[in-house]
Amino acid sequence: MPSNLEAQVAELQQKVAQMKPGASDKISMIVFSGELDKLLAALIIALGSVAMGMKVVMFFTFWGTAALRDPKKTVKGKNFMSKMFGWMLPKGSKEFKLSKMNMAGMGTAMMKSLMKKKNITSAEQMLEVCGQLGVQIYVCEMSMDLMGFKLDEMIDYPNLKSCGVATFLAEAKDSKIQLFI
């Protein structure tokens, strides 16, 4: 009987030795929403995670992609539908509205005024700091294609890359934390 137990222990030790390491000290976020409060939450979490020494990966998709559009850039060669999406959707995070209590823009203006008064960094400034601190931002290729956005019209951000969902999932699968915002 002891030899059988020893064999089982040896087999388990071999399996443990072959196991891949656990989740890395990384957070991966899907930024789906095109609303100011949700974008602020994602950016605050990203900056807090970097402050804790974590690697941060953000995947902007669907309505969230509009936050990365640079209001100063225009791109030629868009078809009618792409031009319509470009006209209807916010061009950058400054145009994002609150998800609740927007009140025809009054709530958003009040929130931005209060943030300024309390010395809270704007979404645009947070994005800039994220870039300086090495937060990796991916923008969804499919969302950009659907909405007619081009990488050339996105903000100047270090290492901003477009990718498909598989690239993001490869990053997310070994993250300690995954969020959908």
The strands making up 136-140's β-sheet, listed across from edge to edge, are 161-163, 136-140, 55-60, 24-31, 175-180
Phi, psi for 137 (deg, rounded to 5): -115, 125
Buried (b) or exposed (e) across 144-172, using 16+ Cβ within 10 A?
Answer: beebbbbeebbbebeebebeebebbeebb
| Percentage of the chain lying above the pLDDT 90 cut | 76
Decide if pLDDT at 153 tops 80. Answer: yes
Q: Which CATH architecture has domain 24-180?
A: 3-Layer(aba) Sandwich (3.40)
- Amino acid in the structure at residue 143: S
Neighbours of 139 (CB within 10 A): 25
What are the extents of the domains in the chain?
A: 24-180
- Work out the pLDDT band at 69, boundaries 50, 70, 90: very high
Q: Which tens digit of pLDDT belongs to each residue from 82-127? A: 888 888 999 999 999 999 998 988 999 999 999 999 999 999 999 9
What's the whole-model pTM score? Answer: 0.85
**CA neighbours within 13 Å on the CB side: how many for 38?**
20
